[in-house]
Amino acid sequence: MVFRSPGTSRQFRGIQRIALHHDLTYVLRMTVPFVERARVQWTYEDLRLMPDDGQRYEVIDGDLLVTPAPTTTHQTLSKRIQFALMQQIELRGLGQVFNAPVDLIFSRLRTVQPDLLVVRTERTNFITERGIETAPDLVVEILSPSTEQTDRERKAKLYASEGVREYWIVDAAQRCIEIYGLAESGYDLLGKYGPGTQVSSRVFELELSVDAVFASR
């Protein structure tokens, strides 16, 4: 769910935004100094004030995105992919693997929490206590009904514009993994891997069995 910033200019001291989601009302308050500005935008600082309620709060170009807690299927897929990445990347000293929730901070107006991300070892100086403050070399998003459009469109544009070299989209419904590589105009589809195939990466030397990812629990 996306909450866009109001577009009118006005003076204010406190802002109260009300978001309806799954028949529940969440009241999100942000207190700011008495200022006048043309556009009110959500920022990284606002995310730090969000409740620890199991939901995922992200900001893309000043818009707030709220995602409900993931399903058990989502978490199972994430765990299996993370395990493979840990074995083939982190334990070999090639990079560090992180899973949500961890902040990927491109800027104050662009802070998200990918399901999984990898930063090469030579770039780990950009990993701080706040989060990851550089474009990862690899980002993985696992689709759900509430996030598919955002993952395929808005996040894909975000990651490409910020220089994420490789983007994986994991589609549980279709039991496949799509691999996208960074190109001049965005992402090119490098491969769509289904049952019986092995996922390969152009950024890291690794192989991942699609059958192992989607195996019955």
* Spatial CA neighbour of 111 closest among 134, 82, 88: 134
Segment 183-188 shows an average pLDDT of 94
Query: Would you mind telling me the total number of residues written for the chain in this entry?
Result: 217
pLDDT-based confidence at residue 216 (cuts at 50, 70, 90): confident
What is the model's pTM?
0.83
- Report residue 192 CA to chain centroid gap: 20
The pLDDT tens digits of the residues spanning 42-100 come to 999 999 999 989 899 999 999 999 999 999 999 999 999 999 999 999 999 999 999 99
pLDDT-based confidence at residue 19 (cuts at 50, 70, 90): very low
The pLDDT of residue 114 is: 98
Is it true that the peptide bond before 51 is cis, omega within 30 degrees of 0? Answer: no
Q: Is the pLDDT of residue 125 over 90?
A: yes
The pLDDT of residue 212 is: 96
Structural domains of the chain, with CATH? 2-67 (no CATH), 72-213 (3.90.1570.10)
Distance CA 70, CA 29 (A): 24
